[in-house]
Amino acid sequence: MTILSKALKRTLLGAAMASAAILAPAQAAELDLSGKTVNFVIPFAETGGSASWANFYAPLLSEALPGKPNVVVKFMPGAGSTKGANWFQMQKDDGLTIFGSSGSTQFPYLLGDPRVRYEYKDWNVVLASATGGVAYLPADLGKKFQQDPNALNGVKFIYGSQGATSLDLVPLLAWKLLGMTVEPVFGIKGRGDGRLMFERGEANIDYQTSSAYISKVQPLVESGKAVPMMTWGALDENGIIVRDPTFPDVPSFKEVLTRKLGKEPSGPGWDAWKAFFVSGFAAQKMVFLPKGASADSKETYQNAFERVVKRADFKKISEKSLGVYDQMIKKGAGVAAGQATDVSDEARAFVKEWLKTDYNVNL
């Protein structure tokens, strides 16, 4: 090979490498947020579960973000949380604004509420937090149900409910799919009131979130006054419903329904239940970056939340506020957010028709 041909070869190789470098996408880099303030917007008032959740995460996120910026929780209540979500839809990415969504924000979106002007598909999820729930029965009915889920066919149940389009949609639809006759008494202010109705004998079926069940209902179980019926389950990182890790000995609703049907559940009713279960429990609270967030912003916040949940002391410091549920990041958060904010037209139509027929709720 001549000297000229070798030189030409080196020149062509260098040009090719330079072109490849130009065409290759730039690798995302974390933002430097030194001296900055991050606004963590919550579309609710300063009390309640979302406020506690955000206030728990804010100082940990501040410590984990590069430059240790000040993370301030800002509350923007109104219109059942749709006011704050509609505001967030209009925000542009500045690396300093994140939004905390909840089941109460996700349900109106799934139901096609006319107040909704936001689109979850535009947003970028960086964290998904789960909670759980346990349905339970009086001891005599519970023992029959555990032996055979068909044993209670024909029994009339009374349930204290906060409303058919609240998080109570999940248990009400579950009982509907099981073929149970459950008459809700609407108007209670919280699940604590539902439990009190059960304890007074005014209701014979109830559910509580995991923390409330452990503190308030488990003593009833231990004294022989109540029996767990089922949990709503949990979601693994692949989007599969599994047993609730807090109650590994209690079957999930999916298991109970499968046993009753003799096959895996399917169809618009099941699809609807799963979407609302994920939205209301398995991914009840999520953190988003706004529409058009840069790769750098996504990298920054995904890595920061990963640092938080991988802290050696995270399980200990989070158990009281978050329970024992996995905090989903990266792939897991994306899968959960997709399921929590997506329901087929057929499944949505099923829910609307069910709400109209059974509860005279028109959406």
pLDDT at 297: 98
* 48: alpha, beta or left? (left if phi > 0; alpha if psi -120 to 50): left
pLDDT higher than 60, residue 12: no
Q: Report long-range pairs for 49-53 (Cβ below 8 Å, ≥24 apart).
A: 49/102, 49/285, 50/100, 50/102, 50/285, 51/75, 52/321, 53/100, 53/129, 53/285, 53/321, 53/322
Return d(Cα 106, Cα 284) in angstroms, integer. Answer: 8
Q: Do the beta carbons of residue 329 and residue 302 sit within 8 Å?
A: yes
355: its two tokens: 């709400």
Which domains does the chain possess?
37-130+283-328 (3.40.190.150), 133-279 (3.40.190.10)
Give the pLDDT band (50/70/90) at residue 49.
Answer: confident
Q: Do the beta carbons of residue 74 and residue 39 sit within 8 Å?
A: yes
Give the pLDDT band (50/70/90) at residue 2.
Answer: very low
pLDDT at 26: 54
- How much is the average pLDDT of 312-334? 89
**DSSP letter string, 29-70:** -----TT-EEEEEESS-SSSHHHHHHHHHHHHHHHHSTT--E
Angle at 293 between CA 291 and CA 296, to 5 degrees: 170
pLDDT at 184: 97
pLDDT higher than 60, residue 7: no
According to DSSP, the β-strands at 285-289 and 97-102 are antiparallel
Residues contacting 248, CB < 8 A, separation 6+: none
Polymer length in residues for the chain:
363
pLDDT higher than 50, residue 103: yes
357, burial (CB in 10 Å: exposed 0-12, middle 13-18, buried 19+): exposed
Return d(Cα 72, Cα 76) in angstroms, integer. Answer: 13
Please provide residue 305's backbone torsions phi and psi, each rounded to the nearest 5 degrees.
-65, -30
pLDDT at 326: 82
pTM for the predicted model, two decimal places: 0.82
Model confidence pLDDT, tens digit, residues 262-313: 999 999 999 999 999 999 999 999 999 999 999 999 999 999 999 999 999 9
- Round the average pLDDT of the chain to a whole number and report it: 90
